[in-house]
Structure 1
Amino acid sequence: MRKILITAILFSLLLQFARPTALTAATQPASDFYGSFQVVGYYPDYWWTPIPDLRYDKLTRVIFFSIYPNIDGTLNTSEIDPNRQAELLSDAHQNNVDVSICIGGWGLSDNFSPVAADPATRTAFVNNLLQYCLDHGFDGIDLDWEPVSTATDRANYTALIAELKAAMLPHDLTLSVAVFAAGSEFYSSAIDDIDYLHIMAYDMSSDPSLPHSTCEGAVQAVKHWQSFGFPNSKIILGVPFYGRDGSWTYYSYKQIVQQYSPPPDVDEVAGIHFNGIYTIKAKTKYVMDNNLAGLMFWELTQDTNDHISLLTAMTDQIHASSPPDLNTDGNIGLQDLAHFASNWLSTGCSTANAWCANADLNQSRTVDFADLSIFSHHWPASD
């Protein structure tokens, strides 16, 4: 009780001068409040969602999908529009969000095997890919060779990863690698060369009539890659923003809610298995509780932009699972209390208002006495 009283007294003093300015609220990216935690969304060019509609306030990185290798080590960029690529890079960087280029993907990986097998072609491919990033201003590369089916390909993929990371290192570019939930795409010697492992913990069921991306399956996928040797600091769990029915037909989350309006605790409707709001929050909490590097999802254009958004559910849970170290400096102190006071009685925290959302500790969409009570139990303290 004494602690709450002291907090309240200091809080009342701070209220006299700690009001936010429009400039501060507009320029502070939500990613600042995640610390080192990663929230990564894939953006496939072919859906043509307007670039300004992407929700940069909730992201740390966007992965632009996709280019792929030609058999001679050059790059095939026919799947993307260069103007949209430039627009994405410009808008994301203005919003303090990094952008990686994806190379490969399902149905776009046939040439990885011959390219990686020949040392000269592999080096040419690495040089071409690095130059593409530098020419266009990408912050990283996301490798997505799928499937990798032979021991020879795994060995060559391991060599490709090592050579690519060595080339990227002087330029401070991030290398992520997308993998299957129970995969073995490369050998463990590649672990040190990979910055982030993107576990595609979806489409996991061999029976299309069963759920393809359960919480239990996600945990098993993480444990599989932990046993492979990856530290938690490199593991990013992938979640689906889509569903599948018994014939393996694909439905975006947006389509599902428009047609069926499922409640938040439901993961199946009309035979379509998907991840609802409660499941996305549960997976997010698991990632937070186990100190994994973050979450990624396929893909950005399949979400809604309202109160039932899966991305909003994800970021709400990130805030709810985090101690109120609001400036993520490793301590809960006066600066955090001042930040909290600056948002006192703010409402509408479901909008793109990162300051408000971060101070709304119980995710009620209003910064109020309940949040002050939560804050007082943590302050003052050190992580």
Structure 2
Amino acid sequence: MACGGAPDAQTAEELLGEAEGGALATRVVGYFPTWAGDVNAIQYDKLTHINYAFALPTAQGGITGVSSGDARLRSLVQAAHARGVKVLIAVGGWNDGNDSAFEQMAANAGARTTFVNNMVAFVNAAGLDGVDLDWEYPEPGASAQNFAALARELGAAMRSRGKLLTAAVVANGYYGDGIPTSSFADLDFLNIMAYDGGHPHSTYDYAVQSLNYWVGRGLPRSKAVLGVPFYGRSPSSYVAYSQLVAWDAQAPYKDNVGDVYYNGIATIQAKARLGLQQGGGVMIWELTQDTQGATSLLNAIAQVLQTSGGGTAYRLVNKLTGKCVDIDGPSGADGAVIHQWACHTGTSQQWVMEPTDSGYVRFVSRYSGKVLDVSEVSTADGARLHQWGWVGGANQQFRAVSLGNGFHRIEARHSGKVLDVANCWSSGDGTAVQQWVWSNNDCQQFRLEAL
């Protein structure tokens, strides 16, 4: 503490200490299309892998759409490798729903061998790091068996040369079952296309369901890379995120502009945390639809991965009761009540502190991706704490003030009031956490216990 003064408000950096690394902690895979974008405009420092999309297979095992000598591809590989970023060639894509070339090629052993040999030659000639197999979509049954044969043979050819084989897959359901579990061992990771599902088309809940589907089928979490969209959808159109920002300056801070639904910064960051903590990273379709600077979604992802230090989290342990700040339920919903509960190892009691500015942080739940929030932006004593999606409000920002005894008071930015266990004498599980004017009571003091 400062001599003769008030306790010091510690910065987030001081609280997090050396545990917070600056490097990306997990995969960030970005698709870069053959038909759009500037190689020199890519934010390479925020990516680990780039998939150049798309080459196309032929029924006989050939490759069309792009050549290994393509000058733009060569430029991409040179720029990416100079920054330690891997580049793969993505083969397939939507192609107007016509996957007949994949079907015919994969069903024929000779054509599969030709395709594998052509892919090896392409990867070697272009100096690539591997292949992303984007067959949209093998169906359960014979088609799935042919996919398995193709993945097994192409995977063996890539691995023997120190290269990667990945695959883009649907979020869940019937076509998901077209990827047999036997192929999981042949693929380095799966890029899960958790978008284009319903309206709104790519919610946080849909992302959770998608990860649960693949992990539930036996895919290792380290191979489950969560896909996020850099575009919006209405019932009749697709709109790039950059276009939405051009239409509406507030677009980065919400998830729809009119009937076009997309993922703004808060949702993208919640999904990035989910991909980091429950999967093997984040995948993006696609990089040219982003903006630059403060509104960039790729920048928002990088902020999460850098400030979370690979998942460093804290429990907030109350001095009076010895219990932990916890989400009721636990629930992933906006408005879920924050209460105290006996401390345990569950993620509903784990909070990542992410700096905002001026020494304030947001407390982000590792369970839900949502933040501590003072209900109704109230400044009154007794206003309850709940969780809510990040909107940047002062009622979602706090600073931890050291009391010099191993505990902190946690002040809300908008009110100056502190987290407080309701009634101040209750030690029961389920007692609500509220805000109250600071009175130096033990029920207002919390230990930040690093996990």
**Shared fold (TM-score greater than 0.5)?**
yes
- Could you say which TM-score interval applies, normalised by the shorter chain? 0.7 to 0.9
Residue 100 of structure 2 is aligned to residue 110 of structure 1: yes
Question: SS where residue 110 of structure 2 aligns?
Answer: helix
Once residues 33 and 309 of structure 2 are traced to their aligned partners in structure 1, the CA distance between those partners, rounded to angstroms, is: 31
Once residues 139 and 382 of structure 1 are traced to their aligned partners in structure 2, the CA distance between those partners, rounded to angstroms, is: 38
Q: Aligned runs of 1:164-243 on 2, under 5 Å? A: 164-182=154-172, 183-205=176-198, 210-243=199-232
What amino acid maps onto 2:256 in structure 1?
A: E
Partner of 1:140: 130
> What TM-score does the superposition give when structure 2 sets the normalisation length?
0.64
Rg bigger for which structure?
A: 2
Consecutive unaligned residues of structure 1, counting only runs of 5 or more, are 12-30, 326-359
Once residues 255 and 361 of structure 1 are traced to their aligned partners in structure 2, the CA distance between those partners, rounded to angstroms, is: 29
Deviation at 1:362, TM superposition (A): 1.7
Partner of 1:23: none
Could you tell me whether the CA contact under 8 Å between 1:199 and 1:238 is conserved in 2? yes
Deviation at 1:271, TM superposition (A): 0.7
Deviation at 1:279, TM superposition (A): 0.4
Once residues 43 and 135 of structure 2 are traced to their aligned partners in structure 1, the CA distance between those partners, rounded to angstroms, is: 28
Cα pair distance change 1:159/1:366, threshold 3 Å = farther
Greater relative CO (CA pairs within 8 A, separation 6+)? 1
Cα pair distance change 1:173/1:78, threshold 3 Å = closer
Q: Aligned runs of 1:1-383 on 2, under 5 Å? A: 33-35=23-25, 37-47=26-36, 49-78=37-66, 82-107=70-95, 109-182=99-172, 183-205=176-198, 210-247=199-236, 249-290=237-278, 292-322=279-309, 362=355, 364=357
Once residues 309 and 103 of structure 1 are traced to their aligned partners in structure 2, the CA distance between those partners, rounded to angstroms, is: 27
> What TM-score does the superposition give when structure 1 sets the normalisation length?
0.74
RMSD: 3.1
Could you tell me whether the CA contact under 8 Å between 1:285 and 1:318 is conserved in 2? yes
Cα pair distance change 1:361/1:260, threshold 3 Å = closer
Could you tell me whether the CA contact under 8 Å between 1:324 and 1:361 is conserved in 2? no
Partner of 1:18: none
Could you tell me whether the CA contact under 8 Å between 1:69 and 1:109 is conserved in 2? no
Deviation at 1:34, TM superposition (A): 2.1
Deviation at 1:119, TM superposition (A): 0.6
Once residues 99 and 301 of structure 1 are traced to their aligned partners in structure 2, the CA distance between those partners, rounded to angstroms, is: 16
Could you tell me whether the CA contact under 8 Å between 2:69 and 2:126 is conserved in 1? no
Question: SS where residue 138 of structure 1 aligns?
Answer: coil
Cα pair distance change 1:235/1:204, threshold 3 Å = same
What amino acid maps onto 1:126 in structure 2?
A: V
C-alpha distance after superposition, 1:289-319 (max 9, x if no partner): 32x1100110010000020111111111112
Deviation at 1:382, TM superposition (A): 10
What amino acid maps onto 1:303 in structure 2?
A: D
Once residues 109 and 22 of structure 2 are traced to their aligned partners in structure 1, the CA distance between those partners, rounded to angstroms, is: 41
What amino acid maps onto 2:304 in structure 1?
A: Q
C-alpha distance after superposition, 1:205-261 (max 9, x if no partner): 1xxxx20000000100100001111010101000000001121x1100000010122
C-alpha distance after superposition, 1:278-297 (max 9, x if no partner): 1001111222232x110011
Once residues 322 and 299 of structure 1 are traced to their aligned partners in structure 2, the CA distance between those partners, rounded to angstroms, is: 25
Consecutive unaligned residues of structure 2, counting only runs of 5 or more, are 2-6, 15-20, 313-352, 362-398, 408-448
Could you tell me whether the CA contact under 8 Å between 1:265 and 1:279 is conserved in 2? no
Could you tell me whether the CA contact under 8 Å between 2:226 and 2:283 is conserved in 1? yes
What amino acid maps onto 2:296 in structure 1?
A: S
What amino acid maps onto 2:210 in structure 1?
A: A
Alignment identity in percent?
A: 36
Once residues 310 and 201 of structure 2 are traced to their aligned partners in structure 1, the CA distance between those partners, rounded to angstroms, is: 32
Question: SS where residue 145 of structure 2 aligns?
Answer: helix
Could you tell me whether the CA contact under 8 Å between 2:90 and 2:131 is conserved in 1? yes
Deviation at 1:320, TM superposition (A): 2.6
